[in-house]
Amino acid sequence: MGPVTTAPASLEVSGLAFAYPDGHQALFGVDFTVARGERVALLGPNGAGKTTLVLHLNGILSGGAGTVTVAGLPVGRKHMAEIRQRVGIIFQDPDDQLFMPTVREDVAFGPAAAGLKGAELERRVRTALERVGMADFADRPPHHLSFGQRRRVAVATVLAMEPEILVLDEPSSNLDPASRRELADILRSLDVTVLMVTHDLPYALELCPRALILSDGVIAADGPTGELLGDDALMRAHRLELPFGFDPRSVTMGA
């Protein structure tokens, strides 16, 4: 047998520090690695630096210290087009990502801009919409859909790029319980790496076996989600609060 080759980590962040032009320092040296296929929650109070970190993952922000590597490629000008295909960021408001007359055109936009056309483009669109249960809505205007349906289409616009990693910013916000569950089922079914930024701690526990707590611009904790959420002192120290009556120890983790 030859040597076993292991795929590079989906995401490697090393010594990442960043200050905005006004002098506000948001990140003070962030280090973590996410292996291919992992689902990891990024937790932390408001102002912890979560959005700043996410915007470094595909080069929207840059220029600070440290490095970000996606599937072995350093995030930087040289690889930017490929990085932006590999890192799919799904923003909190789906209307930030949906702007075409029909669902089909929205999902086709990214792959078409990357040069795909014809049968391969159609396959990408069809597959992405099937994966989020929205294939029957391809010809509908996005603004005629419910909020939960629009969020699923936003996920499809990113899946059509066949990314290495999905980064979800508050994916459960503004969803009713049924839509929240439907999205959870979709995320569990996807064969991609997931980094989920959320204040919805039960959702993090349900979907992500591992969690990171970002606090004051550094990773303050990294471990099994249930253990972190069950550590009362840790939670208090970083201004994280579970819903009233919710006991993380009573929940069976999804795989």
CB atoms within 10 A of CB 17: 15
**Which residue, chain included where needed, has tokens 């029957």?**
136
What CATH number has the domain bearing residue 26?
3.40.50.300
- Report if residue 179 sits inside a domain: yes
1 has pLDDT over 70: no
Residues 160, 134 contacting (CB under 8 angstroms): no
> pLDDT confidence of 8, banded at 50, 70, 90?
confident
Please count the structural domains in the chain: 1
Per residue in 38-78, pLDDT (tens digit) is 999 999 988 788 889 998 998 888 878 899 999 888 888 88
pTM of the full structure: 0.90
pLDDT of residue 187: 93
| Measured distance CA(22)–CA(4) in Å, rounded | 48
- The answer to whether residue 133 sits within a structural domain is no
> Distance between CA atoms of 45 and 211, rounded to whole angstroms?
14
Give me the percent of the chain exceeding a pLDDT of 70: 95
Chain mean pLDDT for the chain = 90
Model confidence at 128, pLDDT cuts 50, 70, 90, reads: very high
Where does the pLDDT of residue 126 fall: very low under 50, low under 70, confident under 90, or very high at 90 and above? very high
* 185 domain residue, yes or no: yes
Q: How confident is the model at residue 3 (pLDDT cuts 50, 70, 90)?
A: low
Let me know if residue 40 belongs to a domain.
Answer: yes
The answer to whether residue 154 is domain-embedded is no
112 part of a folded domain? no
In-domain check, residue 4: no
In a domain, 137, yes or no: no
Q: What is the rounded distance in angstroms from the CA atom of residue 94 to the CA atom of residue 151?
A: 5
DSSP string for residues in 165-215: EEEEESTTTT--HHHHHHHHHHHHH--SEEEEE-S-HHHHHHH-SEEEEEE
Q: What count of other Cβ atoms lies within 10 Å of the Cβ of residue 112?
A: 15
- Residues spanned by the domain of 193: 11-100+164-242
CB 210 within 8 A of CB 182: no
Q: What is the pLDDT of residue 255?
A: 47
